[in-house]
């Protein structure tokens, strides 16, 4: 009897519409919205060496000679692991250490483009990259460089970057100071 009822239900236009609306609502709830909190980097620099001894804290040496102690329990905002040649953004906010490592995009037409992508929101002087599952509800604030130019039609009315694909994604070139300089 149940199978007869479900087969009739699946054929009616109203039930198809209800199922479609339900699927859209479920998918929309999976996409994170504008972050409730925003973090900014306390330290930014190019990684020259990483010291990662077993049982001790990891230290990162930047090209300018600064040494950053990155606790083992620091939250990675855009993937784990820190390697020489990457741009490191590090901070401590909300009682938590965090880091973002941004690799050099070697095939970019923009020189010295350290490339970061993800769901992002536009602000007047900054781009907010939404952190992933590691730190839900938090965004990474990257200031825009003075010469940053925004192309038309890449930002929706709610400030969300809409760049390619079926999911809203922003793709950004960041300079060695941690400032957004271009869209690749």
Residues 49-74: pLDDT tens digits? Answer: 999 888 788 999 999 999 999 999 99
Confidence of residue 80 (pLDDT cuts 50, 70, 90): confident
- Between 20 and 127, where is the model more confident? 127
Enter the pTM of the model. 0.78
Across 52-119, where does the E strand assignment appear? 58-62, 67-70, 75-76, 87-93, 96-102, 114-118
Residue range of the domain that includes 144:
37-182
pLDDT at 39: 95
* Rounded CA separation 141/130 (Å): 9
DSSP 3-state assignment of 5?
helix
Identify whether residues 83 and 7 lie together within a single domain: no
95 and 60 within one domain: yes
Residue indicated by tokens 């990155």: 70
Of residues 39 and 23, the one with the higher pLDDT is 39
pLDDT at position 21:
35
Q: Is the pLDDT of residue 2 over 60?
A: no
What residues have CB less than 8 Å from 26, skipping those under 6 apart? none
Q: Are 24 and 46 contained in the same domain?
A: no
The whole-angstrom separation of Cα 170 and Cα 178 is: 16
78 vs 102, residue with greater confidence: 102
Mean per-residue pLDDT over the chain, rounded: 82
Q: Are residues 12 and 71 in the same domain?
A: no
Within 8 A by CB and 6+ apart from 70, the residues are: 57, 58, 59, 60, 82, 90, 97, 99
Nearest to 167 by CA among 119, 122, 115: 119
The number of CA neighbours under 13 Å toward the Cβ of 42 is 13
Q: Are residues 56 and 25 in the same domain?
A: no
How many domains are there within the chain?
2
The reply to whether 116 and 177 lie within a common domain is yes
Same domain, 8 and 56: no
CA 4 to chain CA mean position, Å: 47
61 and 133 fall within a common domain = yes
Q: How far, in Å, CA of 176 to CA of 89, rounded?
A: 10
SS3 13: helix
What does the pLDDT read at residue 27?
A: 36
User: How confident is the model over 93-117, as a mean pLDDT?
Assistant: 88
Residues 114 and 135 both lie in one domain:
yes
Q: Residue 77: how many CB atoms within 10 A of its CB? A: 24
17 lies in the same domain as 43? no
143: helix, coil or strand? strand
| 15 and 89 share one domain | no
Note whether 3 and 54 are same-domain residues.
Answer: no
């Amino acid at each position: 009897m149940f199978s007869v009822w479900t087969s009739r239900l699946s054929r009616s236009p109203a039930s198809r519409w209800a199922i479609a609306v339900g699927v859209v609502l479920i998918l929309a709830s999976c996409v994170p919205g504008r972050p409730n909190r925003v973090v900014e980097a306390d330290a930014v620099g190019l990684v020259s060496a990483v010291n990662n001894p077993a049982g001790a804290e990891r230290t990162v040496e930047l090209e300018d000679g600064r040494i950053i102690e990155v606790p083992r329990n620091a939250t990675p905002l855009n993937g784990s692991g820190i390697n020489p040649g990457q741009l490191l953004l590090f901070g401590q906010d909300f009682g938590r250490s965090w880091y973002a490592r941004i690799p050099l995009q070697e095939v970019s037409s923009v020189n010295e483009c350290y490339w970061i992508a993800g769901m992002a929101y536009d602000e007047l002087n900054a781009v907010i990259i939404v952190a992933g599952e590691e730190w839900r509800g938090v965004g990474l604030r990257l200031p825009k460089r003075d010469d940053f130019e925004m192309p038309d039609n890449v930002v929706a009315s709610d400030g969300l970057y809409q760049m390619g694909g079926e999911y809203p994604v922003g793709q950004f070139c960041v300079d060695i100071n941690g400032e957004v300089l271009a869209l690749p």
